[in-house]
Amino acid sequence: MKAKAIGILVGLVTLALVAAGCGSQAPAPADKKVTIGMLKLTSSAPIFIGIEKGFFKEAGVNLEVQWFDAAHPIVVATASNKVAVGATGITASLYNLVAGGQQLAIVADKGREQKGYSSSAIMVRTDLWDKGVRKIEDLKGKRIGITQKGSTFHYMTGRLLETKGLSLADVDLVPLGKLGALMASLQSGQVDAVILNEPNISKVVAAGYGKVVAQVGDVIDYQTSGLFFSPEFLKDRATAVKFLKGYIKATRYYYDAVLIRKDGRSAPGANYEEVVGIIAKYTGAPAADIKSGLPYMDRDGKLLAADIQTQIDWYAAHKMIDKPVKAAQVVNTALWEEASKQVK
């Protein structure tokens, strides 16, 4: 009877050890859930690719997408830990949140203006172009449509004017809210010029009612969009690095598919059509539109960190930031640097 009891005890201990993974390889830890807030824009392409190609899963991250309709709510949701990662444009509202004591940080590139690539441009009505309004300095005294004050479009307009010795005071800015309203206002003559992005630039040119005065990336370097990490996610260094490893693989896949250039011209890579198809799936945009507006991004997703202080200084000079902040309060590239060393 005693021997039988000992046998039962040994059996129970063995079962407990097996259940704990002892004596055999321990099961891989479950993927960590990470929520990301973003818009259905082409500039979110690396995130779409990372999901479709399994790069985030491979890195140990279960990415859960929360869709938004505008940029500002994404920044607010990230700052308040409603989402771990925010992916959208870098605007005055983000800098104001940091100035107010929030701890969110810009960690990686999600789209920038780069010389030789069509992303954003200032355009004038064709009738004005025909009358000689063909340069930035010719915009003096003109009505220029933007989305809203403090937006990336507001910033780009101001910076472009300043490169030619003008200022925002030399033009009449007209906030119109949505991109569709910008295009309609240019076509109807309500405004003389607008800032637009692709594929809308190509649409306006094809329709014949607008001409490109200047591509923004040909005039200034500008980190338009970024990935932001919430205060809580910044503390979870291990998971944050895993996420960025997946993101870096995705940005490389995107770059090699659609941004390679040969002899100064675009040369679609081997995965070009696949990447266009992935973007179309997530944005609902026609493939032809996507092909005309593939935004530039660093191949490794590296942030153009030096530009952040330039942006802060400009917004502060134009009274759009409540109090001064330093780029070091907004930028955290240490996590990206760690992740980039681990990606083959």
pLDDT tens digit string along 182-223? Answer: 999 999 999 999 999 888 888 899 999 999 999 999 999 999
Give the residue from 43, 34, 57 showing the smallest Cα distance to 245. Answer: 57
Q: How many CB atoms lie within 10 A of CB 340?
A: 17
pTM for the whole structure = 0.84
Residue whose entry in the numeric block shows the structure tokens 């591509």: 215
Same domain, 247 and 323: yes
Same domain flag for 228 and 304: yes
Q: Report if residue 10 sits inside a domain.
A: no
Q: Both 228 and 338 in a single domain?
A: yes
d(CA 31, CA 105) in angstroms, rounded, equals: 24
Do the domain assignments include residue 24? no
Domain that residue 328 falls in? 32-112+223-342
Q: 3-state class of 37 per DSSP?
A: strand
Q: Based on the domain organization, do 107 and 239 belong to the same domain?
A: yes
Assess contact for 248 and 300: CB atoms under 8 A: yes
Q: Which of 107, 118, 322, 144 is nearest to 233 (CA)?
A: 107
The per-residue pLDDT for 6 is 43
Residues in the chain predicted with pLDDT less than 70, given as ranges, are 1-30
What's the CA gap between 113 and 160, in Å, rounded? Answer: 12
Picking from 160, 185, 219, the residue at the C-terminal end of a domain is 219
Given this model, what pLDDT does residue 86 score?
Answer: 97
Beta strands in the chain (DSSP E): 32-38, 61-67, 85-89, 105-109, 120-125, 143-146, 172-175, 193-197, 210-215, 225-229, 261-262, 265-266
- Where residue 161 sits, what CATH number does that domain have? 3.40.190.10
Q: Are 185 and 255 members of one domain?
A: no
Residues 137 and 108 in one domain: no
* pLDDT value of residue 179: 86
**2 domain-assigned:** no
Q: Pick the last residue of a domain from 194, 219, 244.
A: 219
Backbone torsions φ then ψ of 167, nearest 5 degrees:
-145, 175
Please tell me the predicted confidence (pLDDT) of residue 3. Answer: 46
Distances (CA, A) of 136 to 28, 117, 160, 190, 234: 58, 18, 7, 19, 41
Question: Do 134 and 238 fall into the same domain?
Answer: no
Question: Using CA atoms, how far apart are residues 93 and 90, in angstroms rounded to an integer?
Answer: 8
Q: How many domains does the chain have?
A: 2
**Residue 342 to residue 344: CA distance in whole angstroms:** 6
- Residue 239 neighbours by CB under 8 Å, 6+ apart: 32, 34, 60, 61, 233
Among 197, 219, 241, residue at a domain's last position:
219
In this prediction, residue 225 carries a pLDDT of 94
Whether the Cβ atoms of residue 177 and residue 147 lie closer than 8 Å to each other: yes
